[in-house]
A and B are shown apart, each in its own frame.
Chain A
Amino acid sequence: MNISPVRQRNYGGKAVLALIALAMCGVTIWLLSNDFQLAAATQRWAMVTGALGASDVLLENLSFLQPHFPLYVLVPFYFIPGLDTGAAPYLVALLAATFLLFMWDRHLKEVEISGFRHALLAILIVSHPAFLWAATSGGHLMLSMIAFYMLYRSAQHVITEHDIHSYISLAVVFLIFFFVDSSAIFIFVALLPLLVVIAPIRTVMVSPVGLYLIVGTPFAFAVGTWAYMNWIFEGDPLFFITNADSAFMGGMLHIQDFPWLQQYGGQFFMPLIAATGYMLVAYPVSVYLLLDTMDNSYRFRASFVLLLHPLIAIAIATSQYYLMHPFEILGLLSAGVMAELTFIKMQSRREFVLLVIFMFISSVGGWWLFSQAGNPEMKHWMQALQGDTHQDSSNDADLALGLWLKHNRQQTMLYDRDAYEVIAARGDAKGLVLSFSNEYKSNIRERIPNVAQIAVPDPTTVRGRRDKLNIRYPNLYDFGMKGFSIVYDHLGWRVYRKKHV
């Protein structure tokens, strides 16, 4: 059978991507087998499990304290047998990374590069720690990267085509971004001053208001929708930016836990400079792209925006005490660079070699930065990658309680906001009386709740102090409750069971 060289190249490129996807899958399995687990991933999975395991499956069970899209994508996996171990978030991250790579592959055809170059670029992209971290850590960052990639593709189209589709894409991607990542607001605001670089100058001059309305209205509607949902279901439209548990507040209430915020929180220019330093180490390729495109107005404008946009977003997010670590936004540059590669012509050998060198340097710089300035989870991830983590799971209180509840499947009342690991370890929430349910709300009004079991953490711990059951029944942990007897007491968790059950 004859296959044309172009198709062969195409198949070759796809085969490399498939291998890369398999390799990422292997890395994830390796990480999980080395005791790496991302708290945020567990929390997301526990939320989905809790909501879908409730007697009334309701949207509001997910709360409105974090964007919902990363939760919705987990929903189908709840119904797949064998995924009750909490692996779904990791699978989703891997699938998202694969999706992004194949989408990028499709768009790369526009610049007509050879299969070898294509494969090389793909390997360099994936080997950057920011991409690999997003793909294998089970967080929602890979979904943000997809949104960011599409954002840049739209921005490029506004620069070159400035047709109505490009503006719609830009605006709708922002709308979606809001439901994907709580940092979207900062990414949106950071792009506003740069719109004058992206949009045709004639449009900017004639009607800047019109331009901003076209790009910004869907995002504003998204924010408005969220506020409305908060009002309807939580009674306060600002609930999502005032509640202490809200992801939209970032690190604002826990500044002491984050060195970045301790150092730069509330400032604009210092984090801008620091982020520039981070970028120069982890993404010097974006500087190279800027310099390489100076002779082409369109490409230069795109590169300029790619360079500045994340830095401004980091500065604004830090000034608002939101950003816990610069890589939360800086990591998106990997997707930005991918989008940039679909836009530039790498015709000459010299250009391509330089690009590869800079991407390689970026990757090396990224790994160095991860090792030196990563947050504890990043460092744990790196250790797990190296296979030298030795975590003793027998000391994990939540895991132990979760597994105990798994084998003692009785109706159990539990304040879930800080107990997501318990739910994840249990595997499902069937029979759990969680804080969003009407059953919980009616029982907590009673002097003695009418449930089979109640689980409470030690009230002397931070978590125990925040636990609503401890607040409602302050003597429960220590002295029990009339009609209940203690059936579990291990590592700071106690479970009381109704005597006649």
Chain B
Amino acid sequence: MSKTGGGAKPRIGELLVSRGLISEEQLERVLAQQKREGGPIGHIILANRLVSTIAFYDALTDHFRRGRIGDLLVSKGVLSNEQMEEAVQIQSEWGTRLGDIILAKGWVSPYVMGQVLAEHFDKPHVDLMDRRPDISLLDRSKLSVYSENLFMPWQREDGLLKVAVVDVTPELLKIVNETVDEPFDFIVTSKFDIIWLLQEIGGTYYSGKAVHELANTLPQYSASEVFTVKQLTFLFVWMTLSIIILAIWPIQSLVVLNLSISAFLMLNFGLRMLLGWVGGEKHFDQYVTDEEVLALDDRDLPVYTILLPMFHEAATLPNIAQALRTLDYPLSKLDIKLILEQEDDETIDAAKELGLEGIFEIIRVPESLPQTKPKACNYALHFSRGEMATIYDGEDAPEPDQLKKAVIAFRKSPENTAVIQGRLNYFNVAENWLTRMFTMEYSLWFDFYLPALDYLRIPIPLGGTSNHFKMSVLREMGGWDPYNVTEDCDFGVRLTQAGYRVGVMNSTTFEEANNSIPNWIRQRSRWLKGYMQSYLVHMRSPFKLYGELGHVGFWGFQFFIGGTIVSAMLTPVLFLMYIIWLLTSTFAFDPYFPSFVLYITLFNLLIANGMLIYLFMLSGFKRRYFGLIPWALTVPFYWLLQSWAGYKGFWQLIHNPFYWEKTHHGLTSFEVTHSATQPEKPKA
């Protein structure tokens, strides 16, 4: 804290009087108190609430500052002159503070930076692990504010609250002032100290919020209740009536059922054709151009939070860390959260061993159920400081300019755009049959369907990663549903219901395609279970949903989300009937296929299935993965796998609805790359 005497500097009291912040009489009283009780005059002025902390430091910033951060670092020998020059050069391009750049570059550790910062502001530097805070000073309802802004009440000294901060800016002081609501002064500490301590102290609080917030505030959107009473009642009545009708009019009712299924599948096919055509529009691939990216001024870019939830993925950590380092985005504006489960020592140790730069922060999620990715992300949101946020998986390789493209896409989109979904694709395209199928499916989904859904204003089921959010909306919506195992799909629908727009953009993240069928089944069964959860959640009040989504949105939701589930469930049944008929030439099915039903069924079998196969071909063609095109002819076998996963997901929905079927990554023998031109390159 400041001293009353000394040096060439004017005295604090005199400075405050000259600024008109205190009167001569007040100064006299303060000096008298200092004479009686001792202590720094600044403390006494703040403790007596003569001046607010903000006004105090606004007036006296220059008084306290000692030298420039960069010079201090150079003089201490922790930063070379060349690094200093480079940092200054970068500063002119990025428009961020020198300290942030030096930290982002990893030239100085956060701890040393804290020390220098403390010296710069003439404040003590405190190691919170040694000198722990007084927990009674913490307001538990404000833990999120502490963690989002990286400060915490530390101790009370001479009646004045000391707040530990990692940085000193007028904005932060304002937030601290509003939060603690009493006179305070600050001390400087390392950001990791604050993050770790807050997790230690508030782990239960953050965890509770991550799990229960949505269920408490918006229970109608929470999948914590799989079937509502109304839904069960409806199901019971419907099934009872169906059985009665079936008993009375067996043939007619089966014909109606057959007709309904056939018509549904035909309309589902029609929707997919429409999406294929609309999504094939050229302009979707040019939504954000390279020229626009080049024209972007780095100084205008917002701070970007990258959420990186990982679980037992130590092997993929170096790849994703490198991919994030090479993003074409000012590193000092990146706020990267490695979200690791507390018991996952393997990955935590790997992260520590990597010696990651200061922009990477490890967030340890305490053990609690459900152990899902959305819960982990919700937990990490409390520590996120970006204006925008995105999620990547451990095996991801986003195109380097993706974040910039997302910023531009937001600027070009309507104000109510809440999230922009990037495209997903795979780098191990040609590893085996399964990866080929998966790649074509993803290409179709992200390159055709999602842009079309966006255009047609049909709710977009977000992909698991590379969705770029406005942080304010993310928080307003209560984050993801931790009980939903496809929280991304659910969130896209929820945003549309809330009147937000979900957009798409032309930037791709390359992932590792599942190359093992059991692993794929696990993953896909989770996805389909999640789709079922999402469908059940949003269909709790169908009329309300209709009102919120409109005609196109509602029916698009029925066919795109519902259709995916129904198709998966029906495919094996229909295939089986067909094979039985082929092998036995039985007439047993004839009564259930009157001519009009037969024609629709034939159309579905021949034209619809044929054109759906063709869509798979087109997906490979558009991505210029020409080698995949002939493989599209085998896609009916892939549909059967999907059905298998669908039934597994359905079984789990009833028996273990919140279980997160973990997909194992790092199984590929291919090199992780974000190159779309040479995707078929095996590891050397």
Number of B residues whose C-beta is below 8 Å from A? 24
A214 contacts chain B at the CB level, 8 A cutoff: yes
B602 & A221 in contact (Cβ 8 Å cutoff) = no
**Chain B contacts of A59 at CB under 8 A?**
595, 599
- A218 vs B618: C-alpha distance in the bound complex, in angstroms? 11
**Chain B contacts of A171 at CB under 8 A?**
614
B277 & A217 in contact (Cβ 8 Å cutoff) = no
**Chain A contacts of B276 at CB under 8 A?**
168
- Chain B residue with Cβ nearest A214: B621
A218 & B611 in contact (Cβ 8 Å cutoff) = yes
Among listed B502-510, B530-538, B625-633, B663-671, interface-contacting one: B625-633
**Chain A contacts of B8 at CB under 8 A?**
none
Q: How far is the CB of B578 from chain A (nearest CB, A)?
A: 12
**Chain B contacts of A164 at CB under 8 A?**
280, 282, 618, 621-622
B611 & A221 in contact (Cβ 8 Å cutoff) = yes
- Chain A residue with Cβ nearest B629: A210
Of the candidates A161, A207, A228, which one forms a contact with B282 in the assembled complex, judged by CB atoms under 8 Å apart? A161
B614 & A218 in contact (Cβ 8 Å cutoff) = yes
Encode contact with B along A199-224: 1 for CB under 8 Å, 0 otherwise.
00001001101110110011001001
Q: How far is the CB of A291 from chain B (nearest CB, A)?
A: 32
- A207 vs B623: C-alpha distance in the bound complex, in angstroms? 13
**Chain A contacts of B602 at CB under 8 A?**
228-229, 232
- A165 vs B621: C-alpha distance in the bound complex, in angstroms? 12
B86 contacts chain A at the CB level, 8 A cutoff: no
A221 & B614 in contact (Cβ 8 Å cutoff) = yes
A446 contacts chain B at the CB level, 8 A cutoff: no
B280 & A209 in contact (Cβ 8 Å cutoff) = no
A163-B280, A207-B627 known; A225+B606 contact, CB < 8 A: yes
B630 & A168 in contact (Cβ 8 Å cutoff) = no
A213 & B610 in contact (Cβ 8 Å cutoff) = no
Of the candidates B595, B610, B618, which one forms a contact with A168 in the assembled complex, judged by CB atoms under 8 Å apart? B618
A104 contacts chain B at the CB level, 8 A cutoff: no
Of the candidates A56, A58, A213, A224, which one forms a contact with B629 in the assembled complex, judged by CB atoms under 8 Å apart? A213
A225 & B607 in contact (Cβ 8 Å cutoff) = yes
A278 contacts chain B at the CB level, 8 A cutoff: no
**Chain A contacts of B595 at CB under 8 A?**
56-59
Q: How far is the CB of A138 from chain B (nearest CB, A)?
A: 28
- Chain B residue with Cβ nearest A57: B595
Within 8 A of B (CB), among A215-256: 217-218, 221, 224-225, 228-229, 232
Within 8 A of A (CB), among B581-634: 595, 599, 602, 606-607, 610-611, 613-614, 617-618, 620-622, 624, 626-627, 629-630
B282 & A213 in contact (Cβ 8 Å cutoff) = no
Within 8 A of B (CB), among A422-470: none
- A217 vs B613: C-alpha distance in the bound complex, in angstroms? 9
- A170 vs B630: C-alpha distance in the bound complex, in angstroms? 19
B367 contacts chain A at the CB level, 8 A cutoff: no
Q: How far is the CB of A347 from chain B (nearest CB, A)?
A: 27
B71 contacts chain A at the CB level, 8 A cutoff: no
B281 contacts chain A at the CB level, 8 A cutoff: yes
A221 & B618 in contact (Cβ 8 Å cutoff) = no
**Chain A contacts of B614 at CB under 8 A?**
171, 217-218, 221
Encode contact with A along B423-464: 1 for CB under 8 Å, 0 otherwise.
000000000000000000000000000000000000000000
**Chain A contacts of B611 at CB under 8 A?**
218, 221
Of the candidates B610, B618, B622, B629, which one forms a contact with A207 in the assembled complex, judged by CB atoms under 8 Å apart? B629
**Chain A contacts of B627 at CB under 8 A?**
207, 210
B617 & A221 in contact (Cβ 8 Å cutoff) = no
Q: How far is the CB of B64 from chain A (nearest CB, A)?
A: 62
- A437 vs B277: C-alpha distance in the bound complex, in angstroms? 41
- Chain A residue with Cβ nearest B621: A214
**Chain B contacts of A225 at CB under 8 A?**
606-607, 610
Q: How far is the CB of B109 from chain A (nearest CB, A)?
A: 50
A322 contacts chain B at the CB level, 8 A cutoff: no
Number of A residues whose C-beta is below 8 Å from B? 27
- A57 vs B610: C-alpha distance in the bound complex, in angstroms? 27
A221-B611, A221-B614 known; A168+B280 contact, CB < 8 A: yes
**Chain B contacts of A224 at CB under 8 A?**
606, 610
The number of inter-chain residue pairs (CB within 8 angstroms) is 70
- A274 vs B238: C-alpha distance in the bound complex, in angstroms? 70
Q: Which of A164, A213, A228, A232 has the most CB of B within 10 A?
A: A164
Of the candidates A203, A211, A218, A232, which one forms a contact with B610 in the assembled complex, judged by CB atoms under 8 Å apart? A218
- A219 vs B362: C-alpha distance in the bound complex, in angstroms? 56
Within 8 A of B (CB), among A178-213: 203, 206-207, 209-211, 213
- A232 vs B618: C-alpha distance in the bound complex, in angstroms? 30
- A213 vs B626: C-alpha distance in the bound complex, in angstroms? 10
Q: How far is the CB of A210 from chain B (nearest CB, A)?
A: 4
**Chain A contacts of B606 at CB under 8 A?**
221, 224-225, 228-229
A168 & B607 in contact (Cβ 8 Å cutoff) = no
Encode contact with A along B623-664: 1 for CB under 8 Å, 0 otherwise.
010110110000000000000000000000000000000000
**Chain B contacts of A168 at CB under 8 A?**
276-277, 280, 618
- A397 vs B614: C-alpha distance in the bound complex, in angstroms? 51
- Chain B residue with Cβ nearest A167: B621
**Chain A contacts of B607 at CB under 8 A?**
221, 225
Q: How far is the CB of B627 from chain A (nearest CB, A)?
A: 7
- A229 vs B282: C-alpha distance in the bound complex, in angstroms? 37
**Chain B contacts of A228 at CB under 8 A?**
602, 606
**Chain B contacts of A203 at CB under 8 A?**
626
A59-B599, A164-B280 known; A210+B610 contact, CB < 8 A: no
- Chain B residue with Cβ nearest A220: B610
B621 & A210 in contact (Cβ 8 Å cutoff) = yes
Encode contact with A along B275-301: 1 for CB under 8 Å, 0 otherwise.
011001110000000000000000000
A165 & B280 in contact (Cβ 8 Å cutoff) = yes
Q: How far is the CB of B583 from chain A (nearest CB, A)?
A: 15
- Chain A residue with Cβ nearest B622: A164
- A213 vs B615: C-alpha distance in the bound complex, in angstroms? 12
Q: How far is the CB of A55 from chain B (nearest CB, A)?
A: 12
**Chain B contacts of A210 at CB under 8 A?**
620-621, 626-627, 629-630
- A500 vs B665: C-alpha distance in the bound complex, in angstroms? 85
- Chain B residue with Cβ nearest A207: B626
- A211 vs B602: C-alpha distance in the bound complex, in angstroms? 28
A59-B595, A221-B610, A225-B610 known; A214+B280 contact, CB < 8 A: no
- A57 vs B599: C-alpha distance in the bound complex, in angstroms? 12
- A224 vs B606: C-alpha distance in the bound complex, in angstroms? 8
A214 & B618 in contact (Cβ 8 Å cutoff) = yes
A59-B595, A163-B282, A165-B277 known; A213+B630 contact, CB < 8 A: yes
- Chain B residue with Cβ nearest A202: B624
**Chain B contacts of A221 at CB under 8 A?**
606-607, 610-611, 613-614
**Chain B contacts of A57 at CB under 8 A?**
595
**Chain B contacts of A165 at CB under 8 A?**
277, 280-282
B617 & A217 in contact (Cβ 8 Å cutoff) = yes
- A427 vs B629: C-alpha distance in the bound complex, in angstroms? 51
**Chain B contacts of A229 at CB under 8 A?**
602, 606
Q: How far is the CB of B611 from chain A (nearest CB, A)?
A: 7
Binding site for A on B (CB under 8 A): 276-277, 280-282, 595, 599, 602, 606-607, 610-611, 613-614, 617-618, 620-622, 624, 626-627, 629-630
Binding site for B on A (CB under 8 A): 56-59, 161, 163-165, 167-168, 171, 203, 206-207, 209-211, 213-214, 217-218, 221, 224-225, 228-229, 232
Instruction: Enumerate 18 A-B pairs (CB-CB under 8 Å) in ascending A order.
Output: A59-B599, A163-B280, A164-B280, A164-B282, A164-B618, A165-B281, A165-B282, A203-B626, A206-B624, A206-B626, A210-B621, A211-B626, A213-B629, A214-B617, A217-B614, A221-B606, A221-B611, A221-B614
Q: A217-B614, A228-B606 are in contact. List 18 more A-B contacts (CB 8 A).
A: A56-B595, A163-B282, A164-B282, A164-B618, A165-B281, A168-B276, A168-B277, A168-B618, A207-B626, A209-B626, A210-B627, A210-B630, A214-B629, A221-B606, A224-B606, A225-B606, A228-B602, A229-B602
Nearest 9 A/B pairs, CB to CB: A207-B626, A221-B610, A210-B626, A225-B606, A164-B280, A210-B629, A163-B282, A213-B629, A164-B622
